């Protein structure tokens, strides 16, 4: 199978799931039922940024899915793969928003799920000033919990904002590793679709700080490519859905580094078998240059730890 | 993104028409009129069925007269004509290469010519098994020059450079018995075979056509390119400009036209000479402006960023601007029409080579030993001619575009190194390009080369095809007048990436390259053969398996046929927009478009509908991908 065929099949899978999830929701609640993420002025931020259209209820969400379908062209070209990647992200966003119907609280500690606008505004300034030199999206489970945590820690020590999706969250918990927005390690969720909450951050950064007009998809992708220093670390095994999400990330300009032997694309899809080198490989791929002055102290030292709360005991 | 806009073929034509008005004022002739006088062309010649190789003839083949006087049938006649056509082209490139080798033989630390890229010389020496340790670089250059010159006439063995090809390709050549031996020998054998009463079997004639072509691409042209790099530097990416607007009204305009960089490099040197610049100022000019036409232009653009005034069918336009003080030429593709045309203006038409002497020209003999004084005299002659300019005839069309040029194989590999990841990848290979192709980000590559031909609306086929290919995520490498068409249109401006499909656009952004890469002059098509070989070696595939094709949409010269033959014989399917003069023989056509595939795994495709030609290339590329499962 070609790389693009894998992307297309992952996209088809997610689209199928989204379609039935929306139909089920409409059957249960009716088409007028409101859908929204908490604490955001951008409706469904990804869909809004790409199309310029806000979605208020399930009926509109179904219509929006029709729009998403138009992105799912099937020529063997990068543009089609990119658009299928974007379509996959949008489907993920739809699946995620359904979890929030009726003010439900679908995510519980340590997972955050959707991040509200205030969090993004708070992170945005250090992101622009370079105080946060990058955003890592870690997806799946590392070969061992120790390696996973070591990777997270390495980014954290460089001031990089880390978001976690899937097995890596359990690995951090198992190792007793502290996570949370205050220490800039944010577990999003354990389903792969929750990765869209990281995408949502990048996209809202473009809308809030980049003054990108909703609907200007090309401008959006250019902004994220040039200005949002994000990258993805996806652990093996990669299924088609993850690859399709990866295509979305690459479309936004974010390289994907994986330890699975797969197709390679320079600066975009990089196979690094050695997880201990994920950090250096990722930073180089995203052209993130960090000058570290090593202070020889027995604890980690970085701005990421500024919000840390020391509990008694 | 800014205000980037391609210059259209319509704008090219409007500029040409305006220049022809000036021509009409002074009674100048132009190719546009001569084409009319020659139309319709003789059908026998067009089909290749006319034979005049002995004085029993001329013979021509018709249904009533199916054989010539000697009894040769149409297939033999067409085959022989095709082989002679190839031999002409091969001789031309190879003699150019020979001149370069001779020039290399004159290099000296304080001489006219020096070794500018010693590393490349040492690399070639090692390849040829020459001891380099502790040897003076100039002694080494002389030794290599002699060895290279022997490649032209050695009694035994085959071309040294063939070893650069992947093993599989070398095996195919050996099996098909088309490994070129001495370069000149293949031309001589071709002329022997085509003599009356020798070969009239199409298969034998076409086999020799391929071998004669290979002696050019992997012999003469490769010598020309490699040793030009040694003496004048291996090209690196640099910025320049293209189209007639690069000529400057207040400057002495010297146009270098032809092929051999030994001349043009020296002219460029003297145009920067303070004494010459002072002389230019003393005659009322602001300075000296050198611009190029044709392949010599490609050479100096690639190495020095000298602007490119135009390609083959622009050569008369350069004079028609009325602002050309001298058009200095050496060999190949020079219209003899420039003689009479220059007489209508103040322009000096300066011929320099005993190989290409023309009426109505000023002959300033140029050779490697006296290159400095020759070049100085030429520049002085041009500068002193500034005062003879007729201001009322001066009109320079204000069309020009930015171009990034200089993509030698070395430069391409270096560019690819920039997108590797030091944690994962090795450098110094073509692997990043292969990864882009196998993942599908790029669908493939097209090497577009060749001339202009009045049979095709000038430059339109080059430009339309390039636009179509890059929009389909196919990267294009260029040489010759094809490259100049691209540069003049603006396709070598990095901003032209906006015209690409998402895949090629992303590649251009990450590698910081234009979507079409200028690889040099026509002898530099040997660079493309090396690139194809490197891609094959780095990917573990055969050259014929790579999603890579060649194309000459507006080809014209015998050289183009020789090139086509070596490109096909290297395993690269080649697409032509102009029919070769072989249509009179179904057997020759059958061999060229299909039969030779059994020998070299590639063949020609001819399609005069340019849009269809593009579709066919894309289709072939996709077929190759499908066969590889990528």
Taking the C-alpha atoms of residue A91 and residue A71, their distance in angstroms, rounded to an integer, is: 11
CB within 8 Å of chain A, chain B residues 563-622: 622
Q: Provide the token pair at B262.
A: 């030994």
Residue A180 DSSP class: B
Residues from chain A contacting residue B443 (CB–CB below 8 Å):
76-77
pLDDT digits (tens, 9 = 90+) for B517-529: 999 999 999 999 9
Map residue B396 onto helix, strand or coil: coil
Contact by Cβ (8 Å): B295, B318: no
Q: Which of A82, A225, A266 sits opposite B436 (nearest CB)?
A: A266
Residue B238 in contact with partner chain A when CB distance is under 8 A: no
pTM reported for the whole predicted model: 0.95
Q: Which residues contact A170 (CB under 8 A, 6 or more apart)?
A: A141, A190
- Percent of chain A with pLDDT strictly greater than 70: 99
Q: Is the pLDDT of residue A2 over 70?
A: yes
Instruction: Show residues of chain B in contact with A267, CB under 8 Å.
Output: 419, 421, 510
Confidence at residue B73, expressed as pLDDT on a 0 to 100 scale: 98
Q: Which two tokens stand for residue A21?
A: 């999830």
pLDDT category at A296 given cuts 50, 70, 90 is confident
pLDDT confidence of residue A124: 80
| C-beta atoms surrounding A26 within 10 Å | 17
Alpha-carbon gap: A128 to the closest alpha carbon of chain B (Å) = 22
Q: How many residues does chain B have?
A: 630
How is B216-272 classified by DSSP, letter by letter?
Answer: IIIIIHHHHHHHHHHHH-----EEEEESGGGS-TTSEEEEEESS-HHHHHHHHHHHT
Residues 6+ apart with CB under 8 A from B416: A266, B429, B430, B431, B432, B433, B511
Task: Give every CB contact of residue B517 below 8 A, 6+ residues apart in sequence.
Answer: B407, B412, B475, B476, B477, B478
Q: Could you tell me if B489 and B463 are in contact, meaning their C-beta atoms sit under 8 angstroms apart?
A: yes
Say which residue, A1 or B341, is predicted with more confidence. Answer: B341
A271 SS3 class: strand
Rounded to whole angstroms, how far apart are CA atoms B404 and B351? Answer: 30
As a whole number of angstroms, the distance between CA B210 and CA A247 comes to 45
Residues of each annotated binding site of B for [4Fe-4S] cluster = 42, 50-51, 54, 59, 70
For residue A151, give the H/E element and its range: helix A145-157
| Other CB atoms within 10 Å distance of the CB of residue B107 | 22
User: Would the CB atoms of A79 and B510 count as touching at under 8 Å?
Assistant: no
Under DSSP, the state recorded for A183 is: G
- Is the pLDDT confidence value at A306 over 90? no
Cβ within 8 Å, pair A78-B420: no
The answer to whether the CB atoms of B421 and A267 lie below 8 A apart is yes
pLDDT of B469-490, one tens digit each?
A: 999 999 999 999 999 999 999 9
| Residue of A141, A93, A98, A152 lying closest to A239 (CA atoms) | A141
Question: Which residues share a beta bridge with B310?
Answer: B293
> What's the pLDDT band for A300 if we cut at 50, 70, 90?
confident
Instruction: Say if CB A265 and CB A250 are below 8 A apart.
Output: yes
Bridge partners (DSSP) of residue B291 are: B255
Output the known binding site of B: 42, 50-51, 54, 59, 70, 259, 295, 333, 451, 481, 522
pLDDT the model gives residue A125: 80
Q: Are B502 and A77 an interchain contact pair (Cβ–Cβ within 8 Å)?
A: yes
Using alpha carbons, select from A64, A53, A69 the residue that is nearest to residue A31: A64
Full strand arrangement of the beta sheet holding B573-576? B516-518, B474-478, B444-448, B548-552, B573-576, B604-606
B517 in Cβ contact with B500 (< 8 Å): no
> Do residue A269 and residue B419 have CB atoms under 8 angstroms apart?
no
Closest residue to B439, CB basis, from A79, A269, A281: A269
Please tell me if residue B258 touches chain A, with a CB cutoff of 8 Å: no
For A265, the closest of B424, B435, B501 (CB atoms) is B435
Q: Which residues of B380-528 form beta strands (DSSP E)? A: 401-405, 444-448, 474-478, 516-518
On average, the pLDDT of chain A sits at 94
Q: How many CB pairs under 8 A join A and B?
A: 73
Residue A138, helix vs strand vs coil: strand
Q: What is the pLDDT of residues B190-235, one digit of tens each?
A: 999 999 999 999 999 999 999 999 999 999 999 999 999 999 999 9
Task: Report yes or no: B284 at the A interface, CB cutoff 8 Å.
Answer: no
Alpha carbon of B309 to those of B150, B255, B512: distances in Å?
37, 8, 25
Question: What pLDDT score does A308 carry?
Answer: 80
Length of chain A: 313
Give the single-character DSSP code of A288: -
Q: Do B423 and A272 touch (CB under 8 A)?
A: yes
Question: How many Cβ atoms sit within 10 Å of the Cβ of residue A298?
Answer: 5
Could you please report the per-residue DSSP string of B352-394?
-BTTB--TT-EE----GGGHHHHHHHHHHHHHHGGGG--GGG-
The alpha carbon of residue B179 is apart from the nearest alpha carbon of chain A, in Å, by 37
| Rg of the Cα atoms in chain B | 24
Answer for the pair B558, B216: CB distance below 8 angstroms, yes or no: no
Residue numbering of the annotated binding site of B for [Ni-4Fe-4S] cluster: 259, 295, 333, 451, 481, 522
**Residue B450: Cβ-neighbour burial (10 angstroms; 0-12, 13-18, 19+):** buried
Task: State the Cα–Cα distance between residues A97 and B292, nearest whole angstrom.
Answer: 63
Cβ-nearest to B473 among A77, A264, A285: A77
Nearest C-alpha neighbor of B209 from the set B503, B584, B595: B595
Q: Give the residue-averaged pLDDT of B267-295.
A: 97
Q: Which residue has the tokens 């190989």?
A: B355
| Cis preceding-peptide flag for B145 (omega within 30 of 0) | no
3-state secondary structure of B598: helix
* Contact (CB, 8 A) for B449 and B574: no
Average pLDDT, chain B: 97
Contact B419 A76 (CB under 8 A): no
pLDDT at B1 over 60: no
pLDDT for the residue A309: 81
How far apart are alpha carbons A24 and B304 in whole angstroms?
A: 68
Residue from the list B421, B425, B502 with its beta carbon closest to the beta carbon of A78: B502
Task: Name B575's bridge partners.
Answer: B551, B605
Segment A61-103, tens digit of pLDDT? 999 999 999 999 999 999 999 999 999 999 999 999 999 999 9
Contact assignment for A263 to B506 by CB distance below 8 Å: no
Per-residue pLDDT, averaged over B182-188, amounts to 98
Backbone angles phi, psi at B328, to 5 degrees: -100, 125
Strands A185-189, A269-271: pairing is unpaired
Chain B residues near residue A76 by CB distance under 8 angstroms: 440, 443, 622, 625
Give the per-residue pLDDT at B2.
Answer: 64
Is the model's pLDDT at B111 over the cut of 70?
Answer: yes
CA distance B61 to A231: 70
Q: Which two tokens stand for residue B459?
A: 């430059």
Summarize the confidence of residues B68-86 as an average pLDDT. 98
Phi, psi of A189 (to 5 degrees): -175, 170
Q: Does B2 touch chain A (CB under 8 A)?
A: no
* Residues 6 or more apart whose Cβ sits within 8 Å of residue B71: none
Which ranges constitute the DSSP H helices of B39-127? Answer: 43-47, 74-105, 118-127
Retrieve residue B341's tokens: 């045309």
Q: What is the pLDDT of residue A311?
A: 82
In this structure, the number of other CB atoms found within 10 A of the CB of residue A296 comes to 5
Report the run of H or E that residue A235 belongs to, with start and end: none
Q: What is the mean pLDDT of residues B387-401?
A: 97
Instruction: Determine which of A243, A246, A266 to mutate to test the interface with B (most B C-beta atoms within 10 Å).
Output: A266
The answer to whether the CB atoms of A78 and B435 lie below 8 A apart is no
Residue B168: how many other CB atoms lie within 10 Å: 17
pLDDT one-digit tens code per residue, B277-289: 999 999 999 999 9
Q: What is the pLDDT of residue A292?
A: 67
Between A2, A267, A270, which is nearest B440 by CB?
Answer: A2
């Amino acid at each position: 199978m070609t790389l693009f065929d894998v992307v297309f099949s992952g996209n088809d899978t997610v689209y199928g799931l989204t379609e039935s999830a929306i139909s089920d929701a409409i059957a249960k609640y009716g088409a007028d039922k409101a859908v929204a993420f908490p604490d955001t002025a951008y409706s469904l931020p990804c869909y809004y940024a790409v199309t310029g259209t806000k979605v208020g209820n399930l009926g509109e969400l179904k219509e929006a899915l029709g729009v998403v379908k138009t992105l799912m062209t099937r020529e063997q070209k990068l543009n089609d793969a990119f658009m299928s990647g974007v379509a996959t992200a949008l489907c993920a966003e739809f699946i995620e928003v359904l979890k929030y119907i009726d003010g439900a609280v679908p995510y519980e500690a340590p997972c955050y799920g959707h991040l509200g606008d205030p969090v993004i505004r708070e992170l945005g300034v250090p992101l622009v000033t370079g105080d946060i030199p990058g955003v890592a999206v870690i997806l799946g489970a590392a070969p061992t919990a120790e390696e996973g945590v070591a990777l997270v820690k390495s980014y954290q020590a460089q001031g990089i904002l880390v978001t976690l999706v899937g097995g890596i969250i359990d690995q951090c918990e198992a190792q007793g590793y502290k996570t949370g927005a205050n220490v800039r390690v944010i577990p999003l969720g354990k389903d792969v679709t929750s990765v869209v909450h990281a995408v949502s951050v990048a996209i809202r950064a473009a809308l809030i700080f980049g003054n990108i007009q909703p609907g200007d998809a090309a401008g959006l992708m250019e902004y994220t490519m040039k200005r949002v220093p994000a990258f993805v670390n996806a652990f093996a095994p990669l299924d088609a859905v993850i690859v399709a999400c990866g295509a979305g990330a690459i479309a936004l300009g974010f390289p994907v580094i994986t330890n699975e032997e797969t197709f390679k694309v320079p600066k975009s899809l990089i196979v690094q078998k050695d997880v201990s080198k994920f950090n250096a490989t990722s930073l180089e791929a995203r052209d993130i240059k960090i000058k570290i002055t090593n202070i020889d102290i027995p604890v980690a030292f970085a701005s990421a730890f500024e919000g840390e709360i020391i509990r008694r005991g | 993104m800014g205000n980037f806009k391609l210059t259209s073929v319509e704008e090219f034509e409007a500029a040409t028409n305006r220049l022809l008005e000036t021509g009409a004022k002074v009674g100048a002739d132009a190719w546009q009129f001569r084409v009319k006088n020659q139309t319709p062309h003789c059908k026998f010649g067009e089909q290749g069925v006319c034979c005049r190789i002995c004085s029993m003839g001329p013979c021509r083949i018709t249904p009533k007269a199916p054989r010539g006087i000697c009894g040769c049938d149409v297939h033999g006649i067409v085959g022989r004509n095709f082989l002679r056509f190839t031999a002409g082209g091969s001789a031309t490139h190879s003699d150019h290469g020979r001149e370069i080798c001779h020039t290399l033989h004159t290099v000296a630390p304080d001489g006219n010519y020096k070794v500018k890229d010693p590393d490349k010389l040492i690399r070639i020496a090692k390849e040829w098994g020459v001891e380099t340790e502790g040897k003076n670089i100039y002694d080494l250059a002389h030794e290599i020059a002699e060895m290279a010159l022997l490649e032209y006439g050695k009694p035994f063995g085959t071309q040294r450079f063939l070893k650069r090809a992947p093993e599989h390709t070398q095996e195919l050549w050996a099996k098909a018995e088309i490994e070129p031996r001495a370069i000149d020998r293949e031309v001589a054998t071709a002329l022997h075979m085509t003599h009356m009463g020798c070969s009239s079997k199409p298969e034998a004639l076409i086999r020799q056509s391929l071998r004669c072509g290979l002696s050019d691409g992997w012999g003469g042209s490769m010598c020309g390119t490699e040793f030009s790099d040694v003496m004048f530097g291996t090209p690196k990416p640099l910025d320049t400009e293209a189209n007639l607007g690069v000529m400057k009204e207040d400057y002495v305009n010297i146009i270098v036209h032809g092929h051999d960089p030994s001349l043009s490099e020296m002219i460029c040197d003297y145009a920067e000479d303070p004494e010459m610049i002072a002389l230019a100022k003393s005659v009322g000019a602001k300075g000296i402006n050198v611009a190029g036409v044709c392949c010599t232009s490609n050479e100096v653009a690639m190495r020095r960023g000298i602007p490119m005034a135009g390609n083959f069918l622009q050569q008369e336009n350069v004079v028609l601007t009325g602002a050309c003080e001298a058009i200095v030429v050496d060999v190949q593709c020079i219209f003899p029409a420039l003689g009479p045309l220059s007489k209508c203006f103040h322009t000096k038409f300066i011929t320099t080579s005993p190989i290409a002497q023309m009426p109505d020209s000023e002959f300033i003999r140029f050779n490697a030993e006296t290159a400095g004084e020759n070049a100085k005299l030429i520049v002085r002659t041009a500068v002193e001619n500034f005062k003879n300019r007729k201001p009322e005839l001066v009109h320079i069309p204000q069309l020009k575009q930015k171009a990034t040029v200089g993509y030698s194989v070395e430069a391409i590999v270096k560019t690819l190194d920039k997108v590797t990841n030091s944690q994962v990848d090795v450098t110094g290979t073509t692997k990043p390009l292969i990864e882009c192709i196998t993942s599908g980000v790029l669908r493939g590559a097209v090497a577009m080369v060749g001339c202009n031909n009045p049979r095709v609306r000038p430059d339109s086929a080059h430009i339309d095809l390039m636009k179509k290919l890059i929009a389909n995520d196919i990267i294009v490498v260029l040489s010759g007048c094809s490259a100049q068409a691209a540069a003049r249109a603006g396709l070598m401006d990095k901003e032209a990436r906006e015209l690409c499909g998402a895949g090629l656009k992303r590649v251009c952004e990450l590698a910081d390259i234009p979507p079409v890469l200028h690889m040099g002059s026509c002898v530099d098509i040997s660079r493309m053969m090396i690139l194809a070989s490197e891609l094959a070696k780095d990917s573990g595939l055969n050259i014929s398996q790579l999603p890579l094709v060649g194309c000459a949409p507006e080809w014209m010269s015998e050289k183009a046929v020789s090139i086509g033959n070596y490109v096909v014989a290297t395993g690269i399917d080649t697409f032509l927009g102009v029919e070769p003069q072989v249509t009179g023989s179904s057997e020759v056509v059958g061999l060229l478009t299909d039969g030779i595939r059994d020998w070299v795994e590639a063949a020609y495709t001819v399609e005069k509908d340019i849009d269809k030609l593009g579709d066919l290339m894309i289709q072939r590329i996709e077929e190759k991908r499908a066969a590889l499962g990528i």
